[in-house]
Amino acid sequence: MVKSYDVLVAGAGPAGAAAAAVLAGRGLSVALLDRAEHPRPKLCGGLLTAKSVDALARIFGLGLADLTRRGGLFHQTPQYLFLHRGRELLRGAAAEPFRFVDRPAFDALLTAVAVARGAEYLPGRTVEACDAAAGLVRLRGGGELAARFVIGADGANSVTRRALAPADLERGLWRRNLAAAIEVELPVGSGPGQFPREVLAPELHVGSPAAGYGWVFPGPRGPKVGICGLRRPDRDGRDFGALFLDFLLLLGVAEPEGVALHGHPLPYGNALARPASGRLLLAGDAGGFVEPLFGEGIFYALATGAHAASGVLHGLKHGEAAAAAEYERLLARTVRPELVWSDRLRWLLFWAMQNIGAGPIRGFVKSAPAALAEMVHGRRSFRLLLGKTWEWGEGVGPGLAGIPGGTAD
Binding site residues, ligand FAD, CB under 6 A: 10-16, 33-36, 42-47, 126-127, 153-155, 159, 181, 183, 226, 264, 266, 284-286, 290, 295-299, 301
CB 127 within 8 A of CB 159: yes
Least Å from the CB of residue 22 to ligand FAD: 14
Q: Report the residue number, 271 or 361, with the smaller CB distance to ligand FAD.
A: 271
- N- to C-terminal Cα separation, the chain: 45
Question: Cα torsion for 365, 367, 372, 375, to the nearest 10°?
Answer: -140
CB 250 within 8 A of CB 203: no
Helix (H) or strand (E) holding 366: helix 359-367
Closest CA to 324 of 310, 338, 335: 310
Q: Report the residue number, 152 or 315, with the smaller CB distance to ligand FAD.
A: 152
Closest CA to 314 of 398, 401, 399, 396: 396
Q: What residue is closest to ligand FAD based on CB?
A: 297
- Per the omega criterion (within 30 degrees of 0), is the bond before 209 cis? yes
Least Å from the CB of residue 12 to ligand FAD: 5
Q: Report the residue number, 44 or 57, with the smaller CB distance to ligand FAD.
A: 44
Least Å from the CB of residue 94 to ligand FAD: 15
Least Å from the CB of residue 271 to ligand FAD: 12
Quote the DSSP letter at residue 285. Answer: G
Q: Report the residue number, 53 or 286, with the smaller CB distance to ligand FAD.
A: 286
Least Å from the CB of residue 299 to ligand FAD: 6
Q: Report the residue number, 181 or 323, with the smaller CB distance to ligand FAD.
A: 181
Least Å from the CB of residue 127 to ligand FAD: 4
Q: Report the residue number, 83 or 158, with the smaller CB distance to ligand FAD.
A: 158
Q: Quote the CA–CA distance of 146 and 125 in Å, as a whole number.
A: 14
